[in-house]
Structure 1
Amino acid sequence: MPDFPFLSFLGGFGWAALGVVVLLAATFAVAQVQKRHSVIDTAWGLGFVVIAAITFVTSAQVPMDSAGDDARRWLLLLLTAAWGLRLAGFIGWRARDGAEDPRYEDMLSEATGSRNAYAVRKIYLTQGVVMLFVSLPVQVGMYATGPLGWLAWVGAVIWLVGFFFESVGDYQMAAFRNNPANKGTVMDKGLWRYTRHPNYFGDAAVWVGLFLVSADSWPGVLTVLSPALMFWTLSNKTGKPLTEKRLSTRPGYREYIENTSGFFPLPPKPGRGAST
């Protein structure tokens, strides 16, 4: 088996980083026009698509005797693009009213100088670095030389499960919020009966799946900290905890917490009711 083309990977990483910089610069320009920095939430999914596309192209330039496996390259590109484009489209549609996200208002209220400079440092730079780190399984996998094995297909199945939970969960919540009769109530139907955060669980599962596709061939297994960071962030940092803090005063939410799994999908505890 040919050695991993480490120097080619570094070159591709540099081009991917440049692509992220260009995307975030364009996002910042849009934010100035729309007067809201929450547009970066739409750019989040697009950033991973940009990284996957760039490394797909750069990995194709590696000499044939050490080139990455074409089946893995295409699988990583298609899975990442499907996830990123769907997420970007959904967030863009959800934010169509043009209002700033309260999370960013709270963050920017802490700025002691220029709010824009603070936003670049705390929001854009941070998310750019996280994009590059979390996407390492995709980047490394583009250059991995071994053929697709059973672990990669297990990863593809886990990705599919995650994509289902994230996309269906988002759709169900959007339909729930669009019904005026549900204002002030707790969403506990559909996938939300089995986990309080099907979208966050699905997001984490997607990246575990992509990691396994990459880990199927050396040195993809070395990127294990990337899905671990995504999982920890969604379940313990900016995902689940912030959402539950915001909803903690809503009537019925405490009972919902007591009867519904916090992250991994599980049957609701007895006494929750028969919502569907």
Structure 2
Amino acid sequence: MPDLDSSVLILALLASLVTVAVSMTAAALRAAQLGVVAVVDVAWGAGFVAVALVSGVIGLLVSDALTTWRTVLLMVLVAVWGGRLAWHVRSRAVGEHQGKEDPRYAEMLGGSLAEVGMGTAVRRVFLVQGFAQWFVSLPVVIGAVVAATWWPVVVLGVVVWAVGLYFEAVGDRQLREYKARPREERPPVMDEGLWGLTRHPNYFGDACVWWGLWLAGGLASGWLLGLVTVLCPVAMTFFLRNVTGAKLLEKKMSQRDGWDEYAARVPMFAPRPLGRP
């Protein structure tokens, strides 16, 4: 890698780290004001957009025309995904969940924000998610400032990203429509549409989005950078499935009537093939 590219890459990595720090600090201040740690979910999507924009601007200032095309592409992909996610989470925060703590964060903290204090919330939530956000975003940061080596891999990444966005956006919409129905007119467990293929289409879609961004940003930059950054989508998938996402949510969902039958029929994460019983 040329010296100029190395210095630009280091600059982009540092700038992205500062961007994440500012985003999470703002989220922590807002959480302290509202008394709800779940504010961090809005900063999660919006923070990725900010990182993509900052690293993209750096890339646009130093890149040639061919590299610029991929830089803009990555900025658009992250902006569409992160902007939709931030808007969706904020819509819930000012709607059905207004003023309420997310049960996932209450379990992480061991109580409400008022009970455990802001220091605990910063250590267990904001610092952890801030580092995770910076780490997961590395393929995007690298792709924004390094020339693409394999363009077919960029195309494949966009396809995987699109599949992920479909599962996430449509799954969220179907769940919103399910919750809007009168309680007596809906099944106790949502098992319609994409929710009949996987118990967590939104989390599965989220993972696909970041595998797509790794393909388009990390692996397409060369096998070495692809190998260095492959842990980024691996970490995102692991946390979505086993830590802060699906598994933690299912502790609450498993108490509903009909859950055991639903869980036996529908896989937890990766969707079953269409038509397969």
With structure 2 as the length reference, what TM-score do the two structures score?
Answer: 0.89
1:206 corresponds to 2:216: no
Q: Which structure has the highest helix share of the two? A: 2
Aligned counterparts of 2:84 and 2:42: Cα–Cα separation in 1: 10
What is the deviation of 1:185? 0.4
Alignment CA distance shift 1:109-1:245 (3 Å): closer
1:136-161 Cα shifts (integer Å, max 9, x gaps):
11011112213661111011011000
Aligned length: 268
Larger deviation, residues 48-57 vs 14-23: 14-23
Larger deviation, residues 80-89 vs 4-13: 4-13
1:6-52 Cα shifts (integer Å, max 9, x gaps):
22111111111111111112112211221211111111001100100
CA contact (8 A) 1:53 1:77 kept: yes
Larger deviation, residues 261-270 vs 102-111: 102-111
Aligned counterparts of 2:4 and 2:207: Cα–Cα separation in 1: 27
Give the 3-state SS of the residue equivalent to 2:256 in structure 1: coil
Structure 1 segment 116-155 matched on structure 2, within 5 A = 116-146=118-148, 149-155=151-157
Give the CA RMSD over aligned residues: 2.3
Residue equivalent to 2:35: 35
Residue equivalent to 1:83: 81
Partner amino acid, structure 1, of 2:24: L
Residue equivalent to 1:14: 14
CA contact (8 A) 1:4 1:143 kept: no
CA contact (8 A) 1:259 1:268 kept: no
What is the deviation of 1:60? 2.6
Residue equivalent to 1:274: none
Structure 1 segment 24-173 matched on structure 2, within 5 A = 24-62=24-62, 69-96=67-94, 97-109=98-110, 115-146=117-148, 149-173=151-175
Aligned counterparts of 2:101 and 2:200: Cα–Cα separation in 1: 23
Aligned counterparts of 1:253 and 1:269: Cα–Cα separation in 2: 19
1:179-236 Cα shifts (integer Å, max 9, x gaps):
1225670000011111111001100000000011021122541211000111111122
Partner amino acid, structure 2, of 1:81: A
Aligned counterparts of 1:71 and 1:261: Cα–Cα separation in 2: 38
Give the 3-state SS of the residue equivalent to 1:11 in structure 2: helix
**Percent identity among equivalent residues?**
40
Give the 3-state SS of the residue equivalent to 2:62 in structure 1: coil
CA contact (8 A) 1:27 1:43 kept: yes
What is the deviation of 1:61? 3.2
